[in-house]
Structure 1
């Protein structure tokens, strides 16, 4: 679940948002509320939410200024602005500072909320995948793994995109080589099939997420490239000898 902070000075608006979130069946949970921008900034620092839903006009600090200061401090949470028709110019300004979107306060309904938050979920997932790749493969200047330059390009591509759909056809097209030749070359030089290499990369990344985050097994599976929960559990156990939940429990005992 993505952690969500509401920053809104009107109590009825906060209550309305909570009700819509409860009905919307979206992967977001409200972890806090603030009644003005200054309090919102303090809670962003303390709670580290994934997304902030902020009104534009509020006492002490408006929503656009809150977004500016958050970005200035290097905090990466996404922003969705609450706006009225008369405030649309301010909403446009917020988009220029990196807000993911806006919600019209007076006409907000379930459909609009779901559409906007689905977009935010997509952005957060892409951000997580980029951080994941950077964490596991931070050193792109390391010694090349093989003596074949095109194969090394493939390996680098896999390391940067393993959480996406990576197929033999796509990889072969990437280096402009025959797919069968690429498959045989990979196995010969690496001592492992390309499919198993990708699976292993995904499982190693999943281990990190299981150890260092509280994300669910389903969320982690999707983040590292598995769309099907059962398949993720099967492949994880094949490479580690444990299910994801068993691995997480074992790591907590060790730590």
Structure 2
């Protein structure tokens, strides 16, 4: 309801206006009345009306002065001025100061009043939509941080600050519908949503959309009555779930939508029911990914496919977020391409998968393509076969605990002699060569994944995160977080 303040010094005129139309049927309510401008100014500050219907000539403060002072104090209320015949110059002055219109008191008819109210309401609607667009233009840039936070991702200090700004927003416009679809490569917009809900296309107004990893979320305002609180379309081609939410619980509603679609993605029989398992951690354990990569390095593609199936079963058993499954698929796909010395195929194909089994089949097919024609051996860099054997071993096992003593036993060579020979043939000490290898692998993870820095340290063979930070800073000149931030800035620039 739009709130109206009625300002008129003649009681019978106030009563006549108040009884002129059924206000609430037209979306208005009389929030208060005042008999002169000074009183009205206090009521404007107290009630914050959307529309002020005011006489022009009143004691203490006339309508034009009221309008001018209210504007100076920051009020954005629409003003409709009541005037008598012969006062058109004053009415024109009111229009110049921003009044929406004026009505002759003596000849006022209901239709005139409704027409003036409709004009004022249209101005209020346009202003509200403009303010909401400005708000969502700012909010939209922060939704990606909210998405990452909902998945338990590690946020930088800058990202955390922007997320906190989002949470401090003073949300306006009341409740809206958050509609999330497992859209894959299919377009999903407001018209499609209206068709699913059985409402006219123009009734829903899209204020923002967020599409990522084959999911599309629409934030929609409604003209008239909004749809039901929760609405589900369990269609196998385009499952959609809608929830009504205000700004204060936007995160909770969006997260609930995503969890419902996660269950659909895994083909859970109880997908239409509320609740279910809690979402898992932010990533798949390294001990499950490591054997997959090692099998691919050995060119054991059948074994690699079996290990991928086991990994996919692990994610399905725990109903991990679909985004985690797709991140895992993308990460492994890039690793296969890198090991196979091939150009990575388009990740959009992976993101468009709407079923867990479909994603597995695609990853396996691409893995086999990356494996074709690719040698598994590291190119020989020295003229010494034992040193080359050690280099190949380091390339495949850098993420495990490796010592010079163990390598000496591996090639049946004296440890001190091997240390000297390794430095002479490679130009680097054994430990420094291994650290460089690990840091280069860490750069790949920092640039290509959202894994936490501590997990990257583990995956690259560092004993603990502190040691990883120290070695990375020494070899790369920046910290892991600084490297990641710089790479993202370059990609965006």
TM-score by length of 1: 0.62
Partner of 1:233: 227
The correspondence of residues 83-122 of structure 1 with structure 2, limited to 5 A, is 83-122=83-122
- 1:155 aligns with none
1:24–1:110 contact (8 Å) kept in structure 2: no
Partner of 2:49: 49
Deviation at 1:235, TM superposition (A): 8.6
| Number of aligned residues | 185
**2:230 & 2:122 partners in 1: Cα distance?**
24
Shift in CA distance, 28/227, structure 1 to aligned 2, threshold 3 Å: closer
**Distance in 2 (alpha carbons) for counterparts of 1:228 and 1:16:** 29
Q: CA deviation at 1:103?
A: 1.1
For residue 37 of structure 2, what is the aligned residue in structure 1?
Answer: 37
Instruction: Tell me the alpha carbon deviations over residues 73-119 of structure 1, each in whole angstroms, 9 at most, x when there is no partner.
Output: 11111100001111111011111111001111000111111111111
| CA-to-aligned-CA distance 1:143-197 (integer Å, 9 cap, x gap) | x99xxxxxxxxxxxxxxxxxxx9779xxxxxxxxxxxxxxxxx99x84457xx54
Larger Rg: 2
Q: CA separation in 2, counterparts of 1:240 and 1:19?
A: 44
Tell me which of the two structures has the higher relative contact order, counting C-alpha pairs closer than 8 angstroms and 6 or more residues apart. Answer: 1
Q: Match of 1:134?
A: 134
Given that 1:78 and 1:120 are in contact with CA atoms closer than 8 Å, whether structure 2 keeps it comes out as yes
Aligned equivalents of 1:122, 1:74: Cα separation in 2: 20
Superposition RMSD in Å: 3.7
Instruction: Please give the alpha-carbon distance, in whole angstroms, between the structure 1 residues aligned to 2:28 and 2:229.
Output: 28
- Following superposition, the deviation at residue 129 of structure 1 comes to 1.2
Query: What residue number does 1:15 align with?
Result: 15
Distance 1:31 1:68 in 2: 21
Task: Give 1:140 deviation, angstroms.
Answer: 8.5
Cα distance change on mapping 1:136 and 1:54 into 2, 3 Å:
same
CA contact (8 A) 1:2 1:50 kept: yes
Task: State the match for 2:219 in structure 1.
Answer: 201
Q: Which residue of 1 aligns with 2:72?
A: 72
Cα separation, 1, equivalents of 2:19 and 2:58: 22
Q: Contact 2:7–2:33 at 8 Å: present in 1 too? A: yes
Cα displacement (A) at 1:240: 6.5
CA gap of 1:93–1:133, structure 2 versus 1, over 3 A, is same
Contact between 2:2 and 2:51, CA under 8 Å: does it hold in 1?
Answer: yes
Q: Show the counterpart of 2:258.
A: none
Q: Which runs of 5+ in 1 are unaligned?
A: 146-164, 169-185, 203-223
Q: CA deviation at 1:14?
A: 0.2
Partner of 1:151: none
Higher helix share: 1
Output the CA distance in 2 between the equivalents of 1:228 and 1:30: 20
| Shift, 1:233, TM fit | 1.3
* Alpha-carbon distance in structure 2 between the residues aligned to 1:46 and 1:24: 21
After TM superposition, give the deviation of residue 124 of structure 1 in Å. 1.0
Cα–Cα, structure 1 residues 236 and 88, in superposed 2: closer, same or farther, change >3 Å?
farther
Contact kept, 8 Å, 1:26 with 1:117, in 2: the verdict is no
